Amino acid sequence: MKGGALITLRGLARTGRSPQLPLHLELADAAGPATLVLQQLLRVLPGQRYVGVAEWRGRKVLAKLLVGSKAARSFQRELDGARLLAGQGLPTPLLLADGLREGEGGWLLFDYLDDAQSLGDAWRAVERQPWLSAEQQAVLAEALELVARMHGQGLWQADLHLDNLLRHNGRLFIIDGGGVRGENPGQPLSRGKVLGNLGVFFAQLPVELEPFIEELLVHYLLANGEHALPLEALLAEVAKVRRWRLRDYLKKAGRDCSLFAAKVGAFGLRVVRRDQEAQLQPLLADLDGRTEAGHIYKTGGTATVARVEVQGRPLVVKRYNIKNLAHWLKRFWRPSRAWHSWREGHRLQLIGIATPQPLAVVERRWCWLRGRAYLITEYCGGQDIIARFQHYVQASPPGNELLALDRLFAALLRERISHGDFKGHNLFWDEARGAWSLIDLDAMQQHRSARRFAKAYARDRARFLRNWPADSGLFKLLDERLPQVPGTCPE
């Protein structure tokens, strides 16, 4: 199909993930039929939903085009949500036109908010500041005040997050009506619904902000003081949503979805971050050749680690080798270490512990029996902690780096995560984030049992301290600073 060709909604459903733009669709409103020109795609669920910037009757619009077998239900949900928001006087983009064609699909065309900024982008601009800085508090206060107004009108957004709130010309707008629900529109939302929805909101913020939730609730209560909100109940909701989000995200990391391109079968597994797939294609097509030609850090035995260049961008490939038949017999029946590291890397990222971004994982298979496997990650170019602290063996390292180490160990304790090989060469300084970044996640675990975690943490802590002589000032300093699990370390 050539760019600019006329297409139907049924035809749009067959274009897959990357239809050629611009697309012309003949739609209609109360004034009659007109051509919608879709110029830019913002979100795609292939064969189901196409959201993008378009032109309609000479006006710039946000177009939501719903196709496929679920189109009628999705259309009605979007329409109901948009009408609920507008009906309760809440700020939301104006719905200009909508329609549904049986057997084809539906459309909703909204006024496009030019130069709008999502609160998600506003948060990302300040998230590296000290926790609950004035700028951070301003962003979250703005969000909580609008959420409170929505709850005061009996509405809530099931998919509540900062990217669904847009700043435009000094006002804050709610978008994505498909996630908006009503209990008794016009009457305040019940306390249970409020707690559940605020749990969704706070669960998506860094866990380090949890001690400040009570302070942040003041902004909500000033706009909607209908209910007393017990902190303990709210924190329980936050914890429940965090657990759900982690499970859901780790499932997505193993299947084809908007974030990941996955091919899983009897003769191979390949999962790639979708936004990296095109750039990584030359590397994925010749993994062994590119790995052998790269800068080798480690070779032989069970793993080969190399830095490779892809279009001038440094990446790391870790190849998990099969040494011999006996080794293969131990490995073929269980998930590869590459797959384990892939999942654990995403786990760390979601809970806010620094690690190089996992980009792709590949397993060679024969009739589902696993063989050689590969993990591709971003290159961590900083110094490891041994090199970083080499001049401080009898002195105190920089305060910000010690504080970052405190935060890392606190996070590992909070999440009950053990690394399994906590030597200094597996801990790198990330200058951009001002944090210590963990690598080599083959043995990493998140423990359910407090007792097993205590033992694993004690081993990690002891291994970490062995990077320096026991009689050195640095060893003694770190031994005093690093938290202990009761019963596992001498006081």
Q: What is the DSSP string of 426-473?
A: GEEEETTTTEEEE---TT-EE-S-HHHHHHHHHHHHHHHHTTS-TTSH
Do 317 and 308 form a contact (C-beta atoms < 8 A)? yes
Q: By CB neighbour count within 10 A (0-12 exposed, 13-18 middle, 19+ buried), where does 472 fall?
A: middle
- Predicted local distance difference test score (pLDDT) of residue 488: 53
* Arithmetic mean of pLDDT, 477-482: 95
Closest CA to 155 of 83, 62, 229: 83
Shared domain for 158 and 177, answered yes or no, is: yes
Residue 491 banded pLDDT, cuts 50, 70, 90: very low
d(CA 148, CA 89): 14
Residues 46 and 278: their CA atoms lie apart, in Å, by 18
pLDDT above 70 for 112: yes
Q: Which two tokens stand for residue 441?
A: 């996640």
Q: Pick the last residue of a domain from 92, 111, 130.
A: 111
Give the pLDDT score at 328: 64
Q: Is residue 1 part of a domain?
A: no
Domain count, the chain: 4
Same domain, residue pair 82 and 156: no
Express each pLDDT in 313-343 by its tens digit.
Answer: 999 999 988 777 776 667 776 788 899 999 9
C-beta of residue 376 within 8 angstroms of C-beta of residue 314: no
Stronger pLDDT, 258 or 464, i.e. the higher one: 464
- How many C-beta neighbours within 10 Å does residue 52 have? 20
pLDDT digits (tens, 9 = 90+) for 155-168: 999 989 999 999 99
- The CATH number assigned to the domain holding 324 equals 3.30.200.20
Evaluate whether residue 245 is within a structural domain.
Answer: yes
- The Cα–Cα gap between 96 and 149 comes to 24
213 and 271 housed in the same domain: no
Statement: residue 2 has pLDDT above 90: no
Percent helix, strand and coil across the chain, each to the nearest 5:
40, 25, 35
Mapping DSSP to helix (H, G, I), strand (E, B) and coil, where does residue 477 land? helix
Query: Which CA distances in Å does 204 have to 201, 210, 313, 411?
Result: 6, 11, 31, 16
- Reported for 417-420, long-range contacts at CB under 8 A and 24+ positions apart, including other chains, are 417/348, 417/353, 417/444, 417/445, 417/446, 417/447, 418/444, 418/445, 418/447, 418/453, 418/456, 418/457, 418/459, 418/460, 419/443, 419/444, 419/460, 420/444, 420/445, 420/456, 420/460
Neighbours of 20 (CB within 10 A): 12
Task: State which residues form the domain around 244.
Answer: 117-250
- Is the pLDDT score of 489 beyond 70? no
Structure token digits, residue 262 = 């996955």
Amino acid at 490: P
Residues 430-449: tens digit of each pLDDT: 988 889 999 999 999 999 99
Bridging pattern class, strands 369-378 and 358-366: antiparallel
Check whether residue 304 and residue 358 sit in a common domain: yes
Q: Are residues 405 and 430 in the same domain?
A: yes
Q: Is residue 490's pLDDT more than 60?
A: no
Q: Is residue 141 part of a domain?
A: yes
What does pTM read for this prediction?
Answer: 0.85
22 domain-assigned: yes
Query: 69, 77, 74: which is closest to 104 by C-alpha?
Result: 69
At 295, which helix (H) or strand (E)? strand 295-298
